[in-house]
Amino acid sequence: MSSCLKCLLYHIRLWYNLITINETFCRYRQKKGTEIVMTEEKVCILTGSIGAKEYSMLEKYASQGCRIAFMDTNKELGKMIKEELERVYHVAVFFFHGTVESEEDRDIFFTAVEEMYGKTDYIICRDN
């Protein structure tokens, strides 16, 4: 079984474990005085190498207000992407320096994402 398929199966199991949590996590925004509007925050996870196509996907989800979590082996590029997404789209971004091929890195990454965000809505697994 390829490492990407193992990674995807791991994410699917994690997602099913968190599905009940997804419905309970919402944030509240205050608009125009005392009017309270409830909006659900989505969480997007990307694993694998980050290139132009993957960055475009992250931008798409960030522009929709999704919180972003991603891992990559290129530390400098990861930091630049994190800062850019936070600056332009004003969303929470978590960057983890590691490789999807390492089971230890995957476990650390997904545990951290679960503790930080409590859920996963979108998982993009890239094996480049």
Collapsed DSSP state (helix, strand, coil) of residue 123: strand
* First CA to last CA distance, the chain: 16
Collapsed DSSP state (helix, strand, coil) of residue 94: strand
Q: Which amino acid is at 82?
A: K
Closest CA to 105 of 113, 97, 117: 97
User: Tens digit of pLDDT per residue, the chain (128 long)?
Assistant: 555 555 555 555 544 444 333 333 333 333 334 333 334 689 999 988 888 899 999 999 999 999 999 999 999 999 999 999 999 999 999 999 999 889 999 999 999 999 999 888 888 887 65
Distance of CA 48 to the CA centre of its chain: 12
CATH of domain 3-14+41-125: 3.40.50.720
Domain spans in the chain, listed from the N-terminal domain onward: 3-14+41-125
